[in-house]
Structure 1
Amino acid sequence: MSNYTAPVEDMGFVLKEVVEIEKLCNETGLDSSTVEIIDTVLDAAGKLAKEEIEPINKSGDSEGLKIDDSGKVTTAAGFKEAYRHFVEGGWGSLQFSPEYGGQGVPFVVAASVQEMWHSANMSWGLCPLLTQGAVEAITLNATEDLKQRYLPKLISGEWSGTMNLTEGDAGTDVGSLKTRATQNGEHYLIRGQKIYITWGEHDMSENIIHLVLARLPNAPDGIKGISLFLVPKILVNDDGTLGKPNDLKALSIEHKIGIHACPTCVMSYGEIDGAVGYLVGEENKGIQCMFTMMNNARLTVGLQGVSISERAYQQALSFCNERVQGVAPGFKDIGPIIRHPDVQRMLANMKSITQGSRVLTYAACAEVDYSLSKLPLENLEKHERRLGLLTPIVKGWCTETAQEVASLSLQCHGGMGYVEETGIAQILRDARILPIYEGTNGIQAMDLVGRKIISDGGLGARELISEMKECTKNPAIAELVSVSQLKRFSKSIDDLDSTITIILNHSDNKELVGKIAFDTLMMAGTITASWQMLLSLDRASNAVNNHKSSAEFLKEKADTVKHFIDFILPRYLSSFTTISASAE
């Protein structure tokens, strides 16, 4: 059962009116012609997602993957063809530097396109996601020679990339990894095993570029002694052509709850002579280099939460319009279940959470563009603080709420949702990985309170709170929502401010801070998304006044935003009560 159609109207609205892409391009020096082609880009990406990537989603889940004795992995039918069309369309190169073959499009625009890939087929979409991270790490840390040799093919998508951190005894505690690297002339020889390597081996691209964390001889213990290495599946000659295979292979692929068509590999490096690798960045600075890859990857995982929510909502909406069952209040005849108040409640929750997570995620992705620009230092530092603050919130809140939306979608299907043929079970299974990988949401919560709130004395958090308070003083917003709704939002801001004070006052009590971190993250996510939803309503009103949007769109947006403020925002009170009680 397939019902996904890219929500290009809402995506375009958020990009143009809420993110203010024209202003972003002007302030960051990015290509302003992006503004003129956004609709074209979204329509074309939506077509690829709907016609080629989505149709192989369910079949890929059923068929899965094959691995032979040599470690060769064969993907599900249609995956290679869809990937080839993705490469031919230049979709992998959108946000990257034209110096290496990219198109220089803002990251936030590229993120909107990626939302479609993950809604259509999350297993498939993970391949370009990991490649994006590899490009970012190489761009920011590698030598010019490595950039010239590897970036053009990675950016085009002809080659794909991976991230190799985890080992059997080194998960969250990355510092205990055992993979070793020894220098051998101008390169290094890598020996060890990695697990949970997403798209670690496959047949969609002609080469796979692995970024591998390993320890040099005599390196300091823990994370201070880890280095990062670029390890190609096939060695690259000086003239850019492919040479002989490197000494690495996939030993096995994991049998997972979901994302069945995505090869999650156990990788072996250097079983024979040692896998040839090249140092990226400085020796023993591998964690810092890898985090340039992971931070944006965490945003993109939050984006996957948006994607899953959108897909789940669309499928539930379609089913509820078609499924005939019972006589709803106010009706005399049997009709579709969408007439029933409780079904309407579930659909309204799903829709408002999805749109709230989208506008929150896009706002964070825009901060990537600002933080990479050449703005004056004071402005740049503020954007960097905002990006740092929003990254764990987006990753955590959007993936937690995606679990709810996927579960509600199954609930809307009733018993039919619990059987595989309707397809919602796959969405629920696929969604469950999101709070786990790229740093569990518990780690995101600790990052938020420790590295982002306590470390700067609450500066970044209070800058955000100050902007939220300005929103409550906007007379246009006051006209669009009720007095009680605006009062409810204003009270939530005060309570978030109080939470920041509690954290700062107890910053030395690591046990307490650790226990309230997750509630802080969820509270911050709900309130920040509410703020972005109110901004969306204001911008939708402006768009109608300027003949950029329809009155129908404004009414629909108003209904969705008001539902969020009435039914989703009050959830923060549970977290705030827990935080306050813990502090007492």
Structure 2
Amino acid sequence: MVDFRFDTRDAAFVLFEQMRLGELCELDAFRDQDAETYQSMFDAAHDLAKEQLWPINAESDRLGARFEAGKVSVPECQRKFYRTFVENGFVAMSNSAEWGGMGVPELLGTACTEVFQAACMSFALTPMLTRGAAHIIESHGADWMKQLYLEKMYTGEWAGTMCLTEPQAGSDLAAVKTKAKRDGDSFLLEGTKTFISSGDHDFTKQIVHPVLARIEGAPAGIKGISLFLVPKYVPDEKGEPGTFNDVTCGGIEHKMGIKASPTCTLNFGENGACRGWLIGQENMGIVYMFQMMNEARLEVGLQGLAVAGEAYLQALAYAQERVQGLSLKGAPREPGAKAQTIICHPDVRRMLLGMKAQVEGMRALIYTTARSVDLAHHHPDEATRRRHDRRSQLLTPVCKAYGTDMGFRVTEDAIQVHGGYGFCQEYPVEQLCRDIKIASIYEGTNGIQALDLVGRKLMLEDGALFKEYLADLETLIAAQSGHAVLGPWVARLVQAKDQLVTTTLRVAKALKEGDQHYAFLVSTPYLRLFGDVACAALLLEQAVLAAEKLGAGDMAAWKLAAEADAAKRFYYDKLCAVQFFVHNLLPRVGAYAETILSEDRSALDATFPQLA
């Protein structure tokens, strides 16, 4: 079995040096916590993932989830690990300690979740959905719901899902047809939901479904959709799973990846006996569900990062061991010339540093968004809370779509580094590539994330979200433009920032003039442009920190220092990754900008042949 690889050093750098995780302990919500405890918790998560979860990743993929006699089972190795995972309190690290969570910052929970996602993405889906479903109940449910369900869900005794998609309504939630008929103080539900991750399984005795449905007589469209709490078993007077609630699994999907995660079709009320309880107010279901969707979207972006990070390090380890080809130096074809490991070859080094730069940019992007979530919820100053709430809203679709698109590309490059072996199940990059592809599709396809960014986030509060982001970007640029070493890199960011502004104005103009078709046509290149700029800015922040650690000098001097000091090597390699991103990945912004400003409408004008 290939060893688990996770860059604990870079994660710690982003957590404690760039994001200053310890400073969150100054907030009232985290006053009784400290940075040392955070480090210990992260180390514990890493050790558990490395020693127990990663070793079952390939086995989980091989065995997969099973559907037999109307029941779903997950691989026994995952059930066994689930008990250990729950006992260690990792289901709901960042959720309320009052209801069974750990109550630590979202930033720390994000870092620990990255480790588990990297070790086995198919396993980590169930806890992700459970804490999201429970948080909906905590935020919008009645007091009796909280008392009955929250602690059991946050501690992992019971699991949760999110039930949105229907056969005729993929991403179009306005087309939801599941019906809810009032029956006393509850409702009887009838309908079918598809593609429900962890919709049925044997991790837990109880599964709690937040279900979107339409009450009889409700308005058409999304304004008439309500949210219901539907347990698989109606709890008895002791709060234990009691009567079966007429929620049946009609089958599971057979997928290219995350095979151990059961993706279910759920039938509600086939026998007219499925009972649900209204969460919050009638016809507010979409509003409530968007809370869970946005939380899940950030975690799905995290999946892209986690799997990409694992793929990069697997490729690096392989390149350091695989002997293939001769050196380009001297006279390599002389008799007796010694073959080299492939990390010596320039094109392999290009791919490896590109993967490293992309992963480190994505980690900074997702972690900074998680930090904004913490400050939006817990900072004592209202204006600061609002500013960080706007920041997290703006960056969430970027994290989800950019993180998963780029994550998939990193796994592709990891396979390429492995050559033919990367295409074989003998090495883990093959599974990593298959597993991560779904992340650009579920929780709102990446095209929908681009529509959300362009059509909603840019226009909210008269553009306040983007204006504040731009102001912070310009502050960074102003502070570092004169840096002796980093100044030329900052100049590249200035050029990219100007292209971001120009394209934002063009998209906004299209929306204001009612030309939504063009705005949405270019929304995906715009989101990718935004992601490249955001990653570049955060990486330049890291470069400033790294240069400070290395002291006076330039890249040549720092390289000599790194060769003699392992501690300095991390910071020097960080600078190399930033330099690579600026010169090799950031130029993509120019191409995206050219597309957005081209006024090319050929995709809208094409007729396409009608196929039989």
Q: Is TM (by shorter chain) over 0.5?
A: yes
1:77 is aligned to: 76
Which residue of 472, 477, 483 corresponds with 1:467? 472
> Structure 1 residues 113 and 430, CA, compared in 2 at 3 Å: closer, same or farther?
same
Which residue of 549, 573, 585 corresponds with 1:556? 573
Q: Does 1:344 align with 2:319?
A: no
> Structure 1 residues 544 and 41, CA, compared in 2 at 3 Å: closer, same or farther?
farther
- Quote the Cα distance in structure 1 between the aligned partners of 2:406 and 2:71: 37
1:502 is aligned to: 506
Residues matched between the structures, number: 579
8 Å Cα contact 2:481-2:490 kept in structure 1? no
Superposition deviation, residue 583 in structure 1:
7.9
- Quote the Cα distance in structure 2 between the aligned partners of 1:326 and 1:583: 46
Superposition deviation, residue 250 in structure 1:
0.9
Superposition deviation, residue 564 in structure 1:
1.2
1:4 is aligned to: 4
1:435 is aligned to: 440
Which residue of 569, 572, 575 corresponds with 2:589? 572
Equivalence map 1:324-403=2 (5 Å): 324-330=323-329, 332=332, 333-373=338-378, 375-403=380-408
Q: Which moved more, 1:416-425 or 1:252-261?
A: 416-425
- Quote the Cα distance in structure 2 between the aligned partners of 1:184 and 1:492: 58
Equivalence map 1:182-193=2 (5 Å): 182-193=181-192
CA deviations on 1:290-321 (whole Å, 9 max, x unpaired) are 00100010000000010110111011111111
8 Å Cα contact 1:3-1:318 kept in structure 2? no
Superposition deviation, residue 432 in structure 1:
0.8
Superposition deviation, residue 544 in structure 1:
6.4
> Structure 1 residues 156 and 336, CA, compared in 2 at 3 Å: closer, same or farther?
same
8 Å Cα contact 1:480-1:537 kept in structure 2? no
Aligned residue type for 1:561: V
Q: Does 1:153 align with 2:158?
A: no
8 Å Cα contact 1:31-1:105 kept in structure 2? no
Superposition deviation, residue 184 in structure 1:
1.6
Aligned residue type for 1:182: K
Aligned residue type for 1:364: T
Question: Pairwise CA RMSD of aligned residues?
Answer: 1.7
- Quote the Cα distance in structure 1 between the aligned partners of 2:404 and 2:217: 40
2:554 is aligned to: none
8 Å Cα contact 1:28-1:370 kept in structure 2? no
- Quote the Cα distance in structure 2 between the aligned partners of 1:188 and 1:479: 68
1:102 is aligned to: 101
Q: Secondary structure at the match of 1:473?
A: helix
Superposition deviation, residue 211 in structure 1:
0.9
Which residue of 519, 525, 528 corresponds with 1:522? 528
Q: Does 1:212 align with 2:211?
A: yes
Superposition deviation, residue 542 in structure 1:
4.7
Consecutive aligned runs of 4 or more in structure 1 exceeding 4 Å deviation: 541-545
- Quote the Cα distance in structure 1 between the aligned partners of 2:66 and 2:16: 43
Superposition deviation, residue 17 in structure 1:
1.5
- Percent identity of equivalent pairs: 37
> Structure 1 residues 539 and 238, CA, compared in 2 at 3 Å: closer, same or farther?
farther
Superposition deviation, residue 377 in structure 1:
2.7
8 Å Cα contact 1:17-1:543 kept in structure 2? no
CA deviations on 1:256-315 (whole Å, 9 max, x unpaired) are 111111100011111123212111111111000100100010000000010110111011
Q: Secondary structure at the match of 1:258?
A: coil
Give the gaps of 5 or more residues in structure 2: 333-337, 552-565, 602-612
- Quote the Cα distance in structure 1 between the aligned partners of 2:320 and 2:404: 27
Equivalence map 1:204-283=2 (5 Å): 204-283=203-282
2:540 is aligned to: 534
8 Å Cα contact 1:544-1:550 kept in structure 2? no
Superposition deviation, residue 579 in structure 1:
0.9
Q: Secondary structure at the match of 1:148?
A: helix
2:110 is aligned to: 111
- Quote the Cα distance in structure 1 between the aligned partners of 2:166 and 2:587: 41
Aligned residue type for 2:504: I
CA deviations on 1:31-76 (whole Å, 9 max, x unpaired) are 452422122111111111111111111111111122122x211111
- Quote the Cα distance in structure 2 between the aligned partners of 1:171 and 1:402: 24
8 Å Cα contact 1:166-1:174 kept in structure 2? yes
CA deviations on 1:491-518 (whole Å, 9 max, x unpaired) are 1111111122112222221011011111
Which residue of 492, 497, 503 corresponds with 2:496? 492
Superposition deviation, residue 28 in structure 1:
6.2
Q: Secondary structure at the match of 1:210?
A: strand
1:512 is aligned to: 518
Aligned residue type for 2:302: L
Q: Which moved more, 1:232-241 or 1:203-212?
A: 232-241
Aligned residue type for 2:493: F
Superposition deviation, residue 169 in structure 1:
0.1
CA deviations on 1:75-104 (whole Å, 9 max, x unpaired) are 113101111000000111311112112221
- Quote the Cα distance in structure 2 between the aligned partners of 1:23 and 1:16: 9
Superposition deviation, residue 476 in structure 1:
8.9
2:54 is aligned to: 54
- Quote the Cα distance in structure 1 between the aligned partners of 2:176 and 2:44: 43
Q: Which moved more, 1:22-31 or 1:568-577?
A: 22-31
Superposition deviation, residue 230 in structure 1:
0.9
Superposition deviation, residue 392 in structure 1:
0.5
- Quote the Cα distance in structure 2 between the aligned partners of 1:241 and 1:476: 62
Which residue of 410, 419, 434 corresponds with 2:415? 410
Aligned residue type for 2:515: N
- Quote the Cα distance in structure 2 between the aligned partners of 1:238 and 1:475: 64
8 Å Cα contact 1:56-1:77 kept in structure 2? no
Aligned residue type for 1:297: A
1:135 is aligned to: 134
- Quote the Cα distance in structure 2 between the aligned partners of 1:270 and 1:408: 47
- Quote the Cα distance in structure 1 between the aligned partners of 2:351 and 2:530: 23
8 Å Cα contact 1:480-1:538 kept in structure 2? no
Q: Secondary structure at the match of 1:197?
A: strand
8 Å Cα contact 1:471-1:477 kept in structure 2? no
Give the gaps of 5 or more residues in structure 1: none
> Structure 1 residues 441 and 28, CA, compared in 2 at 3 Å: closer, same or farther?
farther
> Structure 1 residues 426 and 581, CA, compared in 2 at 3 Å: closer, same or farther?
same
8 Å Cα contact 2:188-2:274 kept in structure 1? yes
Q: Which moved more, 1:129-138 or 1:329-338?
A: 329-338
- Quote the Cα distance in structure 2 between the aligned partners of 1:419 and 1:42: 32
Aligned residue type for 1:72: K
8 Å Cα contact 1:506-1:513 kept in structure 2? yes
Q: Which moved more, 1:373-382 or 1:184-193?
A: 373-382
Q: Secondary structure at the match of 1:91?
A: coil
Q: Secondary structure at the match of 1:78?
A: helix
2:41 is aligned to: 41
CA deviations on 1:326-381 (whole Å, 9 max, x unpaired) are 11322642111111000000001111101110010000111111122253332222
CA deviations on 1:474-500 (whole Å, 9 max, x unpaired) are 24982442x432211111111111122
- Quote the Cα distance in structure 1 between the aligned partners of 2:244 and 2:189: 14
Aligned residue type for 2:541: L
- Quote the Cα distance in structure 2 between the aligned partners of 1:459 and 1:3: 46
8 Å Cα contact 1:126-1:262 kept in structure 2? yes
